[in-house]
Amino acid sequence: MKKIFTTLLLAIIAIGLAACGSNEDSKEEKPKTEEESTEQAKGQEEQAKQMEEMQKKLDEQKVEKDKVVAVVNAEEIKGEDFNNVLTQSQMQFQQMGQDPTSKEAVKQIKEQTIDSLIGQTLLMQQADEKGYKASEEEINKQLDEVKKQYKDEKKFEDAMKKAGFTMDELRTQIAENIKYTHYVEKEIKVEDVTEDEMKKFYDQYASSQGQDQSEEAPTFEEVKPQIKTQLEQQKKQEKLVQHVKELKKNAKVDVKI
């Protein structure tokens, strides 16, 4: 579980946000007629059945939690970590409107999951080798940010139990997340985003917006900060992918599935 430092945080936060959303929905719900309630119940039942069938197909892609799925520089990656990242990949496919259970998607998701695990492992090995660490102050600060998603300590603890994690596991993964962030910030250098790059991006965006006559594109100056941030993240991601490729050249990687 060491290397999958984002999975737990996402799970804990998602539970908190879902709970908040549920509370808001209940406040706005209006009384329904008996006919509407019956139709809604039928719809919910059918939807639940479809979701159950889909989940069974998704679960079939998982492996035994103790199975070694890959070995990276003598470090084993277990099925538990594979299943966690697999779930994230499946969700991404669904969010893009794609069926994660199709033959092509199953193959792509598996490869994507393994590549992600190997990349994370190589990066964290480098972070350890170079001595990057997280301070107690940093860990506590990020832990407080996670807790802010909940109304009180009790709801936070309930979410932890529901996600199946302990406080020690949460603190460990927060520390791994911070260490990873420090490593990327210090070791992955990218060129500054230029004015020309931002304007080119804006022109493409404004052109696409112009096709929809109902919406008027904001001015360049209005969206310039967001464009800069997006391009910075894009450059960082591209450089990170290239960095992982270089690490793989000198690494001993053995995929077992």
Longest dimension (CA), the chain: 67
| 42 and 64 share one domain | yes
| Tally of domains within the chain | 2
SS3 161: helix
Domain boundary among 154, 187, 220: 187
Residue 153 corresponds to which tokens in the numbers above?
């300590």
The span from the CA of 234 to the CA of 29, in Å, is: 41
Of 64, 61, 81, the C-alpha closest to 72 is: 81
Of the pLDDT bands very low, low, confident and very high (cuts 50, 70, 90), residue 21 is: very low
The span from the CA of 217 to the CA of 208, in Å, is: 9
Of the pLDDT bands very low, low, confident and very high (cuts 50, 70, 90), residue 17 is: very low
Domain boundary among 159, 187, 215: 187
* pTM recorded for the entire structure: 0.73
Q: At residue 24, does pLDDT exceed 60? A: no
The span from the CA of 121 to the CA of 144, in Å, is: 27
| 112 and 220 share one domain | no
Q: List the helix and strand counts (H, then E) for the chain.
A: 9, 3
| Burial of residue 41, with CB atoms counted within 10 A of its CB: 0-12 exposed, 13-18 middle, 19 or more buried | exposed
Q: At residue 189, does pLDDT exceed 50? A: yes
Average pLDDT over residues 54-80: 93
Bridge partners for 76 per DSSP: 71
Q: Is residue 236 part of a domain?
A: yes
Of 163, 160, 150, the C-alpha closest to 23 is: 150
- CATH number of the domain that 141 lies in? 1.10.4030.10
| 23 and 107 share one domain | yes
The span from the CA of 51 to the CA of 57, in Å, is: 10
User: What DSSP character marks residue 148?
Assistant: T
Question: What are the backbone angles phi and psi of residue 70, rounded to the nearest 5°?
Answer: -165, 155
Confidence (pLDDT) at 79: 93
| 138 and 15 share one domain | yes
E-strand stretches of the chain: 68-72, 75-78, 253-255
Residue 195 corresponds to which tokens in the numbers above?
């004015």
Average pLDDT over residues 126-152: 91
Confidence (pLDDT) at 214: 56
Of the pLDDT bands very low, low, confident and very high (cuts 50, 70, 90), residue 49 is: confident
Q: At residue 150, does pLDDT exceed 70? A: yes
The span from the CA of 187 to the CA of 221, in Å, is: 31
Instruction: Indicate the average pLDDT of the chain.
Output: 83
| Lowest-pLDDT choice from 29-43, 67-81, 214-228 | 29-43
Other beta carbons within 10 Å of 111: 12
Contact 251, 122 (CB under 8 A): yes
Q: Which residue did the predictor score with more confidence, 173 or 216? A: 173
Confidence (pLDDT) at 209: 67
pLDDT tens sequence across 75-130: 999 998 899 889 888 988 888 888 999 999 999 999 999 999 999 999 999 999 99
Of the pLDDT bands very low, low, confident and very high (cuts 50, 70, 90), residue 160 is: confident
The span from the CA of 36 to the CA of 236, in Å, is: 51
Q: At residue 4, does pLDDT exceed 60? A: no
Of the pLDDT bands very low, low, confident and very high (cuts 50, 70, 90), residue 41 is: confident
Confidence (pLDDT) at 132: 95
Of the pLDDT bands very low, low, confident and very high (cuts 50, 70, 90), residue 28 is: low
| 120 and 202 share one domain | no
| 24 and 143 share one domain | yes
| 181 and 233 share one domain | no
Buried b (16+ CB within 10 A) or exposed e, 177-206: bbbbbbbbeeeeeeeebeeebbeebbeebe
Domain hosting 139: range is 5-187
Q: Is residue 130 part of a domain?
A: yes
**Share above pLDDT 70 across residues of the chain, in percent, rounded to a whole number:** 83
| Lowest-pLDDT choice from 3-7, 133-137, 216-220 | 3-7
Q: Which residue did the predictor score with more confidence, 11 or 177? A: 177
Q: Is residue 257 part of a domain?
A: no
